[in-house]
Amino acid sequence: MVVTDPRGGDNPIVWVNGAFLALTGYSRDELYGRNCRLLQGPLTDAAVLQTMRETLAAGQPFEGEVFNYRKDGTPFLNGMTINPVRDAAGKVLFFFSAQADMTDKYRLETAMRHANDALERQVGQRTADLQSALEQKTALLHEVDHRVKNNLQVISSLMLLKARRTPAGEAREALQSMADRIGALSTAHRMLYPEGDVTCFDFKEFTDDLIADLAAGLDGDRTRIETEIEALALSAAMAAPLALLIHELATNALRHAFPEERRGRIVVEAKRCEAGMRLVIEDDGVGLKAAPPNPAGFGHTLVEMVVRQLRGTLDWSDAGPGTRIVITIPLSAAGAS
């Protein structure tokens, strides 16, 4: 603590306590009669001093921090509170100043700031590393996606080339229908990962594409395929089995429901239901009695296997006229959105 006397010319120190002597390293003899500026040095902030002078001249109390110097020349951060002491008439008699050594606080703050800067640099570096790792993985995903699609095209081309060179008959038909199944899988792959979403696909757009491929080969006046699909985003893992399933059942209906130039239509319908999704493939053709499904046939086995894989149920019934196939597929919370 320090008391100065503004009435005594250069506002000299007239009293200090022991703590002040301990803080500064001076003796009383060296301080009394001197102005406080003997504590100042190169680190002392002139702007703070200016504010202090103006505040005190106005008779106001002042609080602030400046660097001061001990007798041995070492600096310390001096946190000061200076109050004017007035007489009964309000005239300033003394300034009473309390000091606290803020050096440790200052060091701590500086250390914290440095630590923060270092952490931010580290976080920045990590983020850049992660970003670059992510970019590499994205590039890899695109590359793999590209290869899968290209290979599907090669497989499909291979089958079709062989089919073209095989005499008309059972073998050729088998090759052709395999190529068509691969085509359905290809549609599934084409619909995956369109704009970065790797988890889901648009089931409506997917089914419309799939059915459009089937309908392209039809005489539109005789047989039609229609779709009534609710907007559903399904899990990407369901794309391939659903493609095979819908392709197989719709193809089967086209092949067996309308013999001898019979006219008709097939409707593929999908809706949400309590259990998940209800998929209906219905035709107005000759019906089950006229064309019973062949339980040993490959198509039939394929359908049953795929429904089992999707943990669904399958029901064939007479639609009078025609055949109705109802498939219920559970959708997990993650399976649809």
Interface residue list for another protein (CB under 8 A): 142, 145-146, 149-150, 152-154, 156-158, 160-161, 164, 183, 186-187, 189-190, 205, 208-209, 212-213, 216-217
Of the pair 100, 178, the CB lying nearest another protein is at 178
- Taking Cα atoms as reference points, which of 4, 15, 86 lies closest to residue 37? 4
Asked if residues 111 and 32 have their Cβ atoms less than 8 Å apart, the reply is no
Distance from C-alpha of 304 to C-alpha of 245, rounded to nearest angstrom: 9
Cα gap 165→171, rounded to integer Å: 11
Contact 96, 85 (CB under 8 A): yes
Please give the order of strands across the beta sheet that includes 75-86.
13-16, 2-4, 92-101, 75-86, 62-69
Smallest separation, CB 152 to another protein (Å): 4
Q: What letter does residue 237 receive in the DSSP assignment?
A: G
At closest approach, how far in Å is the CB of 181 from another protein? 12
Find the shortest distance in angstroms from Cβ 261 to another protein.
21
Provide, rounded to whole angstroms, the least separation between the CB of residue 205 and another protein.
Answer: 8
Give the shortest CB-160-to-another protein separation in angstroms.
Answer: 5
Write down the least CB distance from residue 224 to another protein, Å.
14
Indicate the residue among 196 and 320 with the shorter CB distance to another protein: 196
Name the minimum Å distance from CB 144 to another protein: 11
Q: How many Cα neighbours within 13 Å face the side chain of 283?
A: 25
Smallest distance, another protein to C-beta of residue 232, A:
18
Alpha helix positions (H), 2-63: 18-24, 28-31, 46-57
Number of H-type helices and E-type strands within the chain: 9, 12
Our CB check for another protein shows the closer of 97 and 156 to be 156
Under DSSP, the state recorded for 331 is -
Residue 161: what residue type? L
Whole-angstrom CA distances from 103 to 16, 38, 66, 76 are: 21, 19, 10, 5
Beta bridge partners of 210: none
Nearer to another protein, 56 or 182 (CB): 182
d(CA 192, CA 234): 11
Residue with smaller CB distance to another protein, 29 or 195: 195
Nearer to another protein, 18 or 167 (CB): 167
Beta carbon nearer to another protein, 183 or 285: 183
Give the separation between CA 267 and CA 250, rounded to whole angstroms.
Answer: 9
Measured from the CB atom, the residue of 2 and 188 that comes closer to another protein is 188
Is the distance from CB of 312 to CB of 330 less than 8 angstroms? yes
